[in-house]
A and B are shown apart, each in its own frame.
Chain A
Amino acid sequence: MKHFEQQSLSQRLHLDVPLCFGLLVLCGLGLMILYSAGGEDIGILIRQATRMAVAFVIMFLVAQLSPAVIERWSLWIFLIGIAMLVAVLWVGHVGKGAQRWLDLGLFRFQPSELMKLAVPMVVAWYLSNKTLPPNLGNIFIIGMMIIVPVGLIAKQPDLGTSLLVATAGLAVLFISGIRWKFILVFTALCSLCAPILWYFMHDYQKRRVLTLFNPEQDPLGAGYHIIQSMIAVGSGGLYGKGWLNGTQSHLEFLPERSTDFIFAVYCEEFGLMGVLLLLSIYLFIIARGLYIATNAQQTYGKLLAAALTLTFFVYVFVNMGMVIGQLPVVGVPLPLISHGGTSMVTLMLAFGILMSIQTHRRILSN
C-alpha cells in the first residue's frame, strides 16, 4: 500500500511528463504554423485541434494498458491488419489514384497506417522470447513478417508507406542486435535489388526520383513542388519573414502547403533559427523515447520503444529531406504538424505505447 502512495499523480495516470511536455509544445507550434499555412482559416485550425485532442485521449487510453497486454495482442493486431490489407485490394476506395481506404461504414480507414505499428509490434513480440541477437532462422521468419505487409501496401500502390512500414520492422531487428555482417549483406542485397525495384515502379514514382536530381528539367510539372519549396526555404534566411508573412505560401506558389510541404512554410516564416528550435523539440522527444527504451525491463518493451522512436525520427527526416530537396517526394507528413488526422492518431498510439512501457515499469518490478 505504501508503495502506491509514493507514486506521483503522473505515475498513477500513466503519463510520462517529459514526453507529454514535448508533444504539447510540438502540437502548439504545429497549430501556429497551420494557421498560417492554411490561409488563416480558423475552421481548419479548430478541426486540427479537435483531432489533436482526440489523439491525446487515444494516447492516454493506450498508456493505461500494461505492456504485457499490448505484447499479447501484437500477433492478433498484425493478423487483422493483414486481413484488412487484403480487403483493401478487393474492395478498397480509390483516392488520388491509389487504393488505400477501407470503408467501415462510420468512417474510412487506412489499414496501411495500422501496419506502421503492427509490424514493429509483431517483430518485437516474436523476438521477446528468443535469444538475442537473433539467429538466421529467426531473421528469416521476421523477414517474412515484414515482406508480406510491405508487399501488400506497395501493391495499392503506396510506395512511401510501404517503405516506412519496412523501416519500422527493420528498426526492431537493428535494436535487437542483429549482427553487422547480416546488416552488410542486407545492404548489399538492397543495392542489388534497386534496379529491379525501379523496373516495377509506376511512372509517377520514377518521375519523382528523377526530378530530385534535376528539378529544373521540368519546372512546371513534377519539379514544380521541389523548386517552389526550395524557394520558400531559401528565402526564409536566418530569421525568417515572420509569422503569416511568407509570400511563397500565402501567394499560393507552394503546393500542399498545409500537408506534406508545411515544413517549407515554417522555414520561410521562421528561418534557420526557427528550424533549429523545431529540430530541438523533435530531438528532445526522440531522446526521451530512446531513454524509455534503454530503461524498459522487458525485451518486448525495449525493442518496441526504441523501434517506434526510430520510426518517428525517420518520418521527421524523410519529410524535411523531401521539402529541402534531398529526398524524393513521397507522401510523408511532418509528424504532429501537417494537417490531417490519420497519421496523427498512429503517432499518438505509438506514444501511448511508449508511456505504457515507461509508467508500468515500477509496478511490474515489485
Chain B
Amino acid sequence: MGLKFTLKDIEEESRLVRLRVYTAAAVIILLVLVLVARLFYLQVVRHEHFTTLSQSNRVKVLPIAPIRGLIFSRDEVLVADNQPSFSLELIPEQIDNLDKTIGQLSRLINIDEESISRFKKLRSGKRRFESIPLKFKLSEDEVARFSVERHKFPGVEVIARPYRYYPEKSDLVHVLGYVSRIDEKDLQEIDESDYLGTSHIGKLGVEKAYEDVLHGRVGHQQVEVNVQGRIIRVLERTPPEPGHNIYLTLDLSLQSAASNIMQGKRGAIVAIDPNNGDILALVSSPAYDPNPFVNGIDSKSYKALLSARDTPLINRALNGKYPPGSTIKPFLGIAALTTGVREASDTTWCKGWYSLKGHSHRYRDWKKTGHGHVDLNYAIMQSCDVYFYTLAHDLGITRLNKALTNFGFGTKTGIDIGGESTALAPSIEWKRRVLNLPWYPGETLITGIGQGYVLATPLQLAVATAALANHGKRIYPRLVNKTSDPISGEFTTLSLATPNYVSDYKKEYWDYIIQAMEDVVHGARGTARRSGANAAYRFAGKTGTSQLFSIGQDEKYDKDNVPEHLRDHALFIAFAPVEAPKIALVVVVENGGGGSSIAAPIARQLLDHYLLDESGNLK
C-alpha cells in the first residue's frame, strides 16, 4: 500500500517540478527582457548623452603633491630636511626585453630579488608608458655608474624624489617624531583628497602635531589624454602650495649637550624658558634613529626596538611617570605658608623618624640621627623628611592634593605636540573611584615626601618648577613658536597661550621658598652644595631621590644588594639665574641613585652650557 502510494507520488511530483521549472523559465525570460529594456534605454535612447559624457571624460585631473615644510631649531639649524633620493625607474613601453634589461642593470647596480618582485607587482597595475620604480635610494656611486652607461638603456631613468631626512638622528626623535607611509589608520583620520599624490604623513611628535602646517595644499593639473591615455597637453594647472616651515623653540646646542650627557643612561631632561614656555631641550634616553622609519623599517629591527628592555620607543619626558620624591617639597612649602598651617619660623623636632599617634610604624628620615629643630628653610635645604611628614599630616590629603594640582601635577601641561600622560596627584576621591579603597593617614605622610601614589612626568615637573621661578605664573610648554611661508618668506609668530596662575600668593612667600632652594645649592648645608660651588650665577634647585624598593623597618638600603632596575631614581629640579630666571630644568636619571650625587651635577653642567659663553662669563 505504502509502496503504491509512493509510486503514484513520484509521477505527481515530476509533474509538479516540471510546472515549476516552466514557471521559473517564464520569470527568467521576463527578467532578461527587463535587462534588455534597460540596456536599450542606456545604449540606444540615451546613447548621445552618454557619448558626450564619455568624450568629456578624456580630460583627467591629476594631483600634484606639495613639498613638505622644513623644520628648523631655534638657532635656525635644519633638523628635518627633504633630501632628494634617487630611484631607478623603468618605462616598460620603451624597453624591448624587460628581463634582459633588468639583468644588465643588475650588473651596474645591486638589485635584489625583493625589488624585482615589487617591480613586477607595481607593473601589473600601471599603463605601459608609465614610469615604474625598480630600486629606491641609489647610492651616489650607483647613480654615477649608471650615468656613464645610460645611453645603453633607453627607457630607464634615474629620478630624484624628496624624502624626509633627520640629520640629528636619535637626538631629536622624541621631539620631532617622524613621517612614514600613510596607512589604513591614517586614512580614517585624513581627508584623502588632501593627500592625493602624497605617500607620507607625520606619525609622531612635531611631525604629527603640526601636520596641517607642514603638509601644504595639494595642487592639480587638468590634462587632456588621448585614446591611449597618454597626456597630450596640460589644460590648466593649479600649483600645489608647499607646506610651511616650522621653527622649534629648541636650543639645538643645549639639546645635543643634554643628549650626550644622557648617553647610556635611562631618563629624561626637560629645559624650559619660564618666561614664555619655550622648551629649550627635551631629551628622553635611550632614543632611536627615526630615519629607517621613513621608508618603512624592517620588521626585525622594529621588533628589536619594541622588545628592548630599556624601551627606547617610549618618550620618558612626556610619558615617564616618576615618583617626584623630595623635589615635591618646595611646592608643599608654598602650601604650608599660604594655608597658614606653618609660619616660616615654626620649627619641627626631627629625631630621625615620625610615627602617627597610636601607631608603632616609624616613617623614617633619610638621616638616621635626625636633624634636630628644623624650620622650613632648613627642611628644604637639608631635605628633612620628618618636617614634611608632619606638614603633610597637618595639611591633610585634600589640601595636599589642591597644592599639587595648583602646580599642574596630575593634569596635562598642554604641550603643543600632545601625547603626554596625566600622571597622578592622588586624592581620597581618586582612590575610592579607581582602587575602591579608603584613604589611609600613612599615605598622606608619604605623599608629603613625593612617594606613594603621587607620580609626575618630567615635563610636569619642569612646568611646576618654571611656575616657582615665575612666582606662580604657570606657562604652557611649547616646542614650536614660529612658522614661515617658504614662498613669501613671511614669518608667523604663534601667539602665547594665556598662562594659568597658581594663586595670588604673597611675594614674600615665593621669595622665602626660592631662597630655601637657593640654599640647597649655595648654602653651607645644602644637599646640592657641591653642584653649586663656584657657579658664575646663582641658581635655585631641589634634589630628589625616589625609592622604588621598599626596605623593611629595620633594614638599611644597600645599593649593591638591590637589583639595578629597582634602584632609586635620581631627580633634580632647578632654575637660573635666581634674580631673573631664563631657564628651568628637570633632570631624571632612572635607577641612577641619589639626586644630589647624580642628577644635580648634570643640571649644573647644562645650566653652565646654556647661561655661560665660551670663556665662562654670563651671556
Contacts and interface: CB of A to CB of B under 8 A. Distances in A.
22 contacts: A39-B127, A175-B24, A177-B13, A177-B20, A231-B53, A233-B39, A234-B43, A234-B46, A234-B50, A234-B51, A235-B54, A237-B47, A247-B54, A247-B57, A247-B58, A251-B57, A253-B57, A267-B39, A275-B43, A279-B32, A302-B14, A320-B35
Contacts of A174: 20, 24
Contacts of B57: 231, 247-248, 251, 253
Interface residues of A, number: 51
Contacts of A326: 34-35, 38
A250 B227 contact: yes
Nearest to B5: A131
Given A235-B53, A247-B57, A175 B20 contact: yes
A293 interface: yes
A174 B24 CA distance: 9
Contact of A251 (B18, B19, B36, B60): B60
Task: Give 8 closest A-B pairs by Cβ, nearest first.
Answer: A234-B50, A235-B54, A177-B16, A234-B42, A132-B13, A235-B50, A272-B43, A237-B47
A231 B17 contact: no
Given A175-B17, A299-B13, A237 B35 contact: no
Interface of A: 39, 41, 43-44, 131-133, 174-177, 230-238, 245, 247-248, 250-253, 267, 271-272, 275-276, 279, 283, 286-287, 290, 293-294, 299, 302-303, 306, 310, 313, 317, 320-321, 324-326
A233 B20 contact: no
Given A233-B39, A251-B57, A238 B47 contact: yes
For the residues of A in contact with B, the DSSP-based class is helix
B42 A233 contact: yes
Contacts of B32: 279, 283, 317
Nearest to A236: B43
Nearest to A175: B20
Contact of A306 (B24, B58, B127): B24
Contacts of B60: 251
Given A230-B42, A250-B228, A251-B229, A276 B50 contact: no
Contacts of A253: 57
Contacts of B228: 250
Contacts of A317: 31-32, 35
Interface in B1-25: 9-10, 12-14, 16-21, 24-25
Nearest to A273: B43
Interface residues on B, range: 35 or more
B10, B20, B47, B51: residue with the most chain A Cβ atoms closer than 10 Å: B20
Contacts of A236: 43
B50 A230 contact: yes
Interface string B221-234: 00001011100000
B25 A290 contact: yes
Contacts of A231: 50, 53-54, 57
Contacts of A290: 21, 24-25
Contacts of B13: 131-132, 177, 299
A153 B481 CA distance: 54
Nearest to A220: B193
Contacts, number: 131
B28 A286 contact: yes
Nearest to A275: B39
B21 A175 contact: yes
Nearest to B54: A235
Contacts of A271: 43
A324 B24 contact: no
B212 to A, nearest CB: 22
B37 to A, nearest CB: 10
Contacts of B10: 299
A177 B229 CA distance: 55
B357 interface: no
B50 A233 contact: yes
Interface string B340-377: 00000000000000000000000000000000000000
B44 interface: yes
Contact of A44 (B25, B50, B124): B124
Contacts of B47: 234-235, 237-238
B122 to A, nearest CB: 13
Contacts of B24: 174-175, 290, 306, 310
Nearest to B42: A234
A283 B36 CA distance: 13
Contacts of B21: 175, 290, 293-294, 306
A234 B20 contact: no
A131 B25 CA distance: 24
Given A174-B20, A290-B21, A313-B31, 9 more contacts: A132-B17, A230-B42, A233-B43, A233-B50, A234-B50, A247-B58, A251-B227, A293-B17, A310-B28
A252 B9 CA distance: 58
B185 interface: no
A199 B488 CA distance: 53
A279 B28 CA distance: 12
Contacts of B46: 234
Contacts of B491: none
B187 to A, nearest CB: 12
A89 to B, nearest CB: 21
Contacts of A131: 9, 13
Contacts of A251: 57-58, 60, 225, 227, 229
Contacts of B25: 287, 290
A324 B16 contact: no
A238 B17 contact: no
B256 to A, nearest CB: 45
A293 B21 CA distance: 8
A253 B57 CA distance: 8
Given A132-B13, A275-B39, A306-B17, A232 B124 contact: no
B107 interface: no
A43 B50 contact: no
B20 A41 contact: no
Contacts of A313: 28, 31
Contacts of B19: 177
Nearest to B125: A39
B220 to A, nearest CB: 13
Interface string B269-283: 000000000000000
A272 to B, nearest CB: 5
Contacts of B124: 41, 43-44
Contacts of B127: 39, 252
Nearest to A171: B24
B49 interface: yes
Contacts of B16: 132-133, 176-177
A324 B37 CA distance: 11
B557 interface: no
Nearest to A279: B32
A274 B32 CA distance: 15
A310 B32 CA distance: 13
Contacts of A247: 54, 57-58, 227
A171 to B, nearest CB: 8
